[in-house]
Structure 1
Amino acid sequence: MGRERLVFDGWIAALGTASGTRVVLGHWPDSPFGPFSDVMLEDAGGRRTLLAPTAPTAACIAGVYRFDEVRTAPVGVRVDGARWEVAAGPLDLWFSVGRRGPLGLALRAVPRPLARRPAWAALAAGPARLLPGVRTRGSARPGHRQWYAACDLRRITGAGAALDGADLGPLRPVLPPVRFGFGSAPATPALVRVVSTIETPASG
């Protein structure tokens, strides 16, 4: 059976809140579905929810990651300098990012063509394991493989969120780790520029 590769080039932001809800935003200016954004939520009780803008994007993401609920809803992202604003169905979110540290500056030196190669993800797998729960390659579902390459990193310095009108409280670490896929996000809230490649069984 043949394999199909889907490449998503964009940003992943992960943050925790005082309510215990953790939020992971995927913002993809370049993807097989065109530009789109999605949000993954895990609440204090461990319930995992996907908010995706269309049925095809929801099906693709839910085919790779694990959720208790999948909802199709508009997901809008507005970036104004260091401030990001997200409106995703029942979720309203904002966060601000700080300056790049040494790791962010080093990651920006990674050429984008290199970041798309599985060999680069394999090379980065060792250093990534120094961060608890973080993996650059793996699988959450049978028949699927995925690898990440980070190309930039900035810390999230402030955030606010409301879900169904209820305030989720101020910014907190991403703890406990989220359980959507084969790896988790770093505990420190961060915005990461990534190239994410998903390999799936070819359709047809």
Structure 2
Amino acid sequence: MSSRPAALERRFRGRITGVGTTSGVRIVVGMWERSPFGAFADVFLELPDGTSVLLAPDEIVAAYVSGTYRFDTVSVVDVSARRTARGVELSAGPLRASIDVGTISPLGRVVRIVPKRIARDPRWLAAIDPVARLIAPGSGTAGSAGNGRREYYGVTGAHDVTGVQGTWAGEPLGSLAPLDPPVAFGFASLPRIPQVVDVETTIREPV
């Protein structure tokens, strides 16, 4: 009697910061405390002309992330995302940014209702995905990650982003703006209102 082979499961736990700017540059920063590749930070950018860019700290991360999400350009650069009393100080190749983080957001108050062990469970995330997409268009908690992979986003906390300053390729980013329209790197975006989310991402791969 044959049985379906178990999927390989990779888990990434950390924080994702999503920021829009008045220059049209949109920034998604992953600060991963635990992952199959150790602790690292990476940056997804969407430029005003729609070009998508991955800034990765090494070739291994670049290969895995670009095999999971869609990018027009992939660059391996020194990536530093440091938490400060005000928020996050970010340096990644031609990107420099200071991101100010405020108090818990309305989304953060909602997700705190669900115990963390449930909020991170792929079965729960698959079940609530249709509701998540209705509440926050463009977002989702479960979907395809390409190459036969399935991805699950388990958000356990969220804080508002209150400001951003910096430059991309020497040009000012401008001030804070919504993530609207949604960024389009994978099956889901981040909330329209810029914020930082505590998240565990689970990626299941065929074996």
TM-score tier after normalising by the smaller chain length: over 0.9
Deviation at 1:131, TM superposition (A): 0.6
Give deviations 1:55-109, integer Å, cap 9, x for gaps.
1111111111000011011111111123210111111111111111453134235
Q: Find the aligned partners of 1:56 and 1:80 in 2 and give their Cα distance.
A: 28
Of 171, 192, 195, the match for 1:190: 195
Residue 127 of structure 1 aligns with which residue? 131
Amino acid aligned to 1:145: R
Of 56, 63, 66, the match for 1:59: 63
Deviation at 1:194, TM superposition (A): 0.4
> Is this contact kept in 2: 1:66–1:180, CA < 8 A?
yes
Q: Find the aligned partners of 1:102 and 1:50 in 2 and give their Cα distance.
A: 29
Of 17, 20, 24, the match for 1:20: 24
Counterparts in 2 of 1:103 and 1:180: CA distance versus 1, 3 Å: closer
Larger displacement relative to structure 2 (85-94 or 134-143)? 134-143
Of 74, 78, 82, the match for 1:74: 78
Q: Give matches, 1:148-159, under 5 Å.
A: 148-159=153-164
Kindly indicate whether residue 147 of structure 2 is the aligned counterpart of residue 145 of structure 1: no
Kindly indicate whether residue 50 of structure 2 is the aligned counterpart of residue 50 of structure 1: no
Residue 102 of structure 2 aligns with which residue? 98
Q: Which runs of 5+ in 2 are unaligned?
A: none
> Is this contact kept in 2: 1:109–1:151, CA < 8 A?
no
Report the TM-score, using the length of structure 2 for normalisation: 0.91
Q: How many residues align?
A: 202
Deviation at 1:120, TM superposition (A): 1.8
> Is this contact kept in 2: 1:66–1:140, CA < 8 A?
no
Residue 8 of structure 1 aligns with which residue? 12
Amino acid aligned to 2:85: G
Of 169, 172, 180, the match for 1:167: 172
> Is this contact kept in 2: 1:18–1:171, CA < 8 A?
yes
Larger displacement relative to structure 2 (6-15 or 77-86)? 77-86
Query: Equivalent residue of 1:64, what SS?
Result: coil
Identity of aligned residues (%): 42
**Which structure 1 residue ranges, 4+ long, deviate > 4 Å from structure 2?**
none
Counterparts in 2 of 1:102 and 1:66: CA distance versus 1, 3 Å: closer
CA RMSD of aligned residues (A): 1.6
> Is this contact kept in 1: 2:166–2:173, CA < 8 A?
yes
Amino acid aligned to 1:52: A
Amino acid aligned to 1:132: P
> Is this contact kept in 1: 2:33–2:39, CA < 8 A?
yes
